[in-house]
Amino acid sequence: YYCELKDLQNSKYFFFPFHVPLDYALTIRSPKYLDQIQTIYKIVKYLPTNYKLALKEHPAGIGAYNKKTIKNLLEKCKNVKLLNPNINSHLVSENSEAIITINSKVGAEALVSSKTVISLGDSFYSNSSLINYIDDIVELKNMLHEVVFKKQINEKGNVKIFFQNLWDST
């Protein structure tokens, strides 16, 4: 049930990278999103019309989800596509409308590429003005529509300052 990036070629989509299940980033920093499958169902509910949600498993979590659970998700949500885990996340991000993440490193990488990032959870970049942080997933519907119509672009200079300040403080 994996698809390839070419299967999204003529589609508008948001990218949600799976996190490693039961990872510290979820269990401690963002426990309300521990059940990523339920989080995906909520995201799908708020997607703008004619948009898809591209999913990609974390390299350290390939096969961590029960096949039946994933199959049910894909059958119930026709606008969800599970990408082959061997596809480079940068390529998926590059063509996406925005990245929706809990607190993944993919969000930080997307910032460097000036992509729009919507963060649901706590991360080292969640307090940055460069991303769109939402405290409650019910805010996602408005945020997704705003992203689609505003086309927010992060300026490279601000991104460089953010990462330089992060480097200086660590």
pLDDT in tens, the chain (170 residues): 899 999 999 999 999 999 988 776 777 778 898 999 999 999 999 999 999 999 999 888 888 888 999 999 999 999 999 999 999 999 999 999 999 999 888 988 888 888 899 999 988 888 888 889 999 999 999 999 888 776 555 555 566 666 667 667 78
pLDDT for position 101:
94
pLDDT for position 54:
98
> How does strand 98-101 pair with strand 80-82?
unpaired
CA distance 9 to 55: 15
Phi and psi at residue 63, to the nearest 5°: 85, 5
CA distance 155 to 130: 9
CA distance 125 to 111: 10
Q: pTM of the predicted model, to two decimals?
A: 0.87
